Amino acid sequence: MQLLYYFSNPLGFSLIAITLFFVTGLVIYVLKILWQKNKCQLLWTPIDSVEYRSNLSYDEFILEYASVGKPVIIADAMKDLKISTKWNFDFFRSECGSIEAIVKENSSEIHSFMTVADYLDYITTRESNQYLYIADWNICNYPQLFNDYKAPVYFPDWSKGLPNKFIEKYQFPNANIFIGHKDTSIGFHKDQYNASAWIGVICGCKQIVLFTPDQEELFYKGKVDVFNPDLEKFPLYAKANPVEAILRPGEAMYIPSGWWHQVKNLEDTIAIGSLLINRCNSELVFQTLRELSPIKGRLFPLIFKFPWLGKLFFSIGLI
């Protein structure tokens, strides 16, 4: 009798219809995840050099690069972004000087904490023989940085709307700042979860060395320093075919899923970058997450589709 009342009442009927529509959509989405192929193909395109492009549309980027796993440097990717003109060493000293950031030893995972002001003093004086680098400084907890930030149009942020603590816990895509002096380097690696990545230079200059995914067996799990390889210790690396590129202010590089790379600062440099989940690699990323965690891995696609679910699951400790 009560159900008949809801159907006869316009407001009640609307609530039932909306609920059924939502539940049906959610069920269909879950079934789609369950029925998809167990393995997703990693696509990549061999290259002899990295192409430089400008005036590239988003559709051209997807068609010519992201969908075929091909790196590209987009020369004007950052030209209209506020951070390109606002962020410099003086800005970070005045606005962020008291913030403690993770500082890594050159090309290693050894790290400590240092205030940004102290690090900038270290760059200026360079009284030690250390090669210290502020790397992977996540901006999401710092309004003075986050409010300035906007990703280039080619790299939409799929994690928008998810809790910051959730993003930090699972190291999902979010913008990270890299501040390093000349000759500092991030270690040789490929990006986790089979995500792709992008990095843009605000000031300074970077050298980036890339390798196609099929060469992974030559890299000794990333223990090689490609800028100074020890071939006696890592003889297989001699067979590798690197592709090198220079990244200058205002330029951004797209690094496809599975591509190994190492980055070195040729000058004192400020840069920003992020892992990237896009429509070309999302199924591969989610498949990788399911292999790492069969239960949670099946929830992540739902979380990215419906960010409010991410907030709910995270708040109750389900993820």
Query: Residues with Cβ < 8 Å from 131, sequence gap 6 or more?
Result: 105, 106, 181, 183, 184, 185
Domain check: are 28 and 156 in the same one?
A: no
Q: What is the CATH number of the domain that holds 73?
A: 2.60.120.650
- The reply to whether 290 falls in a domain is no
pLDDT on residue 16: 56
Domain co-membership, 154 together with 220: yes
Residue type, 226: V
| pLDDT on residue 39 | 55
**What integer pLDDT is reported at residue 26 of this predicted model?**
52
Note down pLDDT in tens along the chain; length 319 residues.
544 454 455 555 455 555 555 555 555 445 454 444 445 789 999 999 999 999 999 999 999 999 999 999 999 999 889 999 999 999 999 999 999 999 998 867 778 899 999 999 999 987 777 899 998 898 888 999 989 999 999 998 777 767 777 777 776 767 899 999 999 998 999 998 899 999 999 999 999 999 999 999 999 999 999 999 999 999 999 999 999 999 999 999 999 999 999 999 999 999 999 999 888 998 998 898 888 888 878 888 888 778 787 788 778 877 7
CA distance 154 to 149: 15
137 and 250 fall within a common domain: yes
* Judgement on whether residues 192 and 270 belong to the same structural domain of the protein: yes
Structural domain of 77 = 51-280
Give bridge partners of residue 54 from the DSSP assignment: none
Give how many domains the chain has, as a whole number: 2
Give the pLDDT of residue 35: 43
